[in-house]
Structures are given as structure tokens and as C-alpha cells.
Amino acid sequence: MSKIRVTIWSEGIDPQLEPRAIALYPNDINAYLAEALGTNADLQIRTASLSDPECGLSQQTIDDTDVLVWWSHLYDDQVPDEIADRVMNAVLNGMGLVLLHAGFHGKPARKLLGWPSPIGKYRELGEMERMWVVDRSHPILAGMEKEYIEVPCSEMYGEPGCIPKPDELVFISWFEGGEVLRSVCGWHKGAGKVFYLAPGHEEFPVYYIPEIQLLLANIIRYVKPVNTPPVRWRGEVDSIETLKNPIKPSPRG
């Protein structure tokens, strides 16, 4: 069986502004996740960063990627529109996209999910987050031993209004401070799937948690491309059957 080709992208961590994050992830979050998920024999993982040529997302890299994992928090508006469009088009044609943490603010997410005001409630005080399963049939739960995951130290993202209505909702988080969040959910876009995994603030050891690593691996497996038939996306097409009484269109434009 061929491996799932995964590219884990990060905007990078500023060592001056984020010393706690550097202490947790000295080689960046993408490198940490690549190592943590590298134990899965079905995943072939590489990393890419905002600071790489073409933001690490050349057309060749995108063409060689089944699932793109996107971690960003503050800086991914620096990604040129052309490259964000490249990601969007790849998803519409079948590539999986996993948005981590504030990645749903990022350019590819906004282009694909299309909501105008991405900033919702947040609080960075390291409170407990308990993620409750709300769809027990979902394949991303494979191997989970409990009906919830606890993140002892998390950043709160709160409802309402953080995310557009999802097509699939698998976890709802409750935060120690009282808010809730649709924290693991997904959308179908063209031939591709987009999934959101909310916990992952860079100053807390969220990605150290084994259940989070398992969940991320399962999400990657779920959003990998499937062999769907090619589709002509737009434009005038000939009819498949012979029309009995076709009416000639008016001349326009």
C-alpha cells in the first residue's frame, strides 16, 4: 500500500517574542509533529515553512502532497495570494487540508471556507480544555480509548462565530473558564476535505499529548484524496443526450 504523502507547514516561531514556544519546539512545530507522527508506517512526512522559497509550497511540492497540515498563528498573511490560491485549487481537486489551531485564520482557510471575520473569542491563560466526542461513528476516532481528550493547558477559543457551519462535527470542547468550541470539525470542498483541529497553541505542550497525536494521524488518514472522477468545473458543455427541442440562446455580452 502506498504511503500518504504529508507536508506539515508552519509559519515559524519568533525566538525573541516566543521563548516558551521555542523551549517546547526548538526546531519549530512542523519538525516536532513530523517526528511525532513519523512512527506511523503509513505516513511519509516532510516539512515546509513560511521562510522557505515559495513559502515551501512550490507547485511541485503541492503536486507531491496528499495531505497538507497547516499550523499558523500570526504571520501567514505573508503568504502570497498566488500560493494560497495554489493550496485552494489543490484542495478543490482532492488534496486534504488539516488546519491546526489558528490556521483557520490563514489565507488558504479563508479562501476555502469563506467567512469575512475570522477573529473570535480567545484567552491565553493555559486553562484546561476537555474535548468531548459528539459523533461516535466517525473514523478519526479509531483507537481512541475514552469519550473525551483532556488538554491540561490550552488557549481558549470560544463560540459563537469562530468558524463557519461545518459539514462534520466530531468534538466539542469545554473550557475551564466556561466557554465551548466546535473544536474538531470538517468541510467538503470540491473533491477535497478540510478538517480543523483547534487545540495547539505554541506556548503550551498540546502536541506532546499522545491522544492529540493519534487524532491528528487519523484526521490525515481521513482527508487523504480518494480517486474521484475528473470534473469539468465550468463553462458551456454539450448535452450528453440529443435534445428534442433546443432553444437557441439569445446573443449576449
What residues line the site for Zn ion (CB under 5 A)? 155, 201
3-class secondary structure for 67-117? EEEEEECCCHHHCCHHHHHHHHHHHHCCCEEEEEEHHHHCHHHHHHHCCCC
CA 44 – CA 46 distance, rounded (Å): 7
Nearer residue to Zn ion within complex by CB, 127 or 155 = 155
In the complex, least distance from residue 81 CB atom to Zn ion, rounded to whole angstroms: 24
Task: Kindly tell me the burial class for residue 211, based on how many C-beta atoms sit within 10 Å of its own C-beta (0-12, 13-18, 19 or more).
Answer: middle
Cell numbers found for residue 127: 486553562
Nearer residue to Zn ion within complex by CB, 155 or 179 = 155
Nearer residue to Zn ion within complex by CB, 88 or 162 = 162
Tell me the one-letter amino acid at 25: Y
Neighbours of 190 (CB within 10 A): 17
In the complex, least distance from residue 1 CB atom to Zn ion, rounded to whole angstroms: 36
In the complex, least distance from residue 252 CB atom to Zn ion, rounded to whole angstroms: 50
In the complex, least distance from residue 101 CB atom to Zn ion, rounded to whole angstroms: 6
Point out the residue whose Cβ comes nearest to Zn ion. 201
Q: Which residue has the cell 513560511?
A: 50
Give the C-alpha distances (Å, rounded to integers) separating 239 from 202, 234, 249, 251.
53, 14, 14, 19
Residues 62 and 192: beta-carbon distance below 8 Å: no
Nearer residue to Zn ion within complex by CB, 201 or 224 = 201
Nearer residue to Zn ion within complex by CB, 18 or 52 = 18
In the complex, least distance from residue 201 CB atom to Zn ion, rounded to whole angstroms: 4
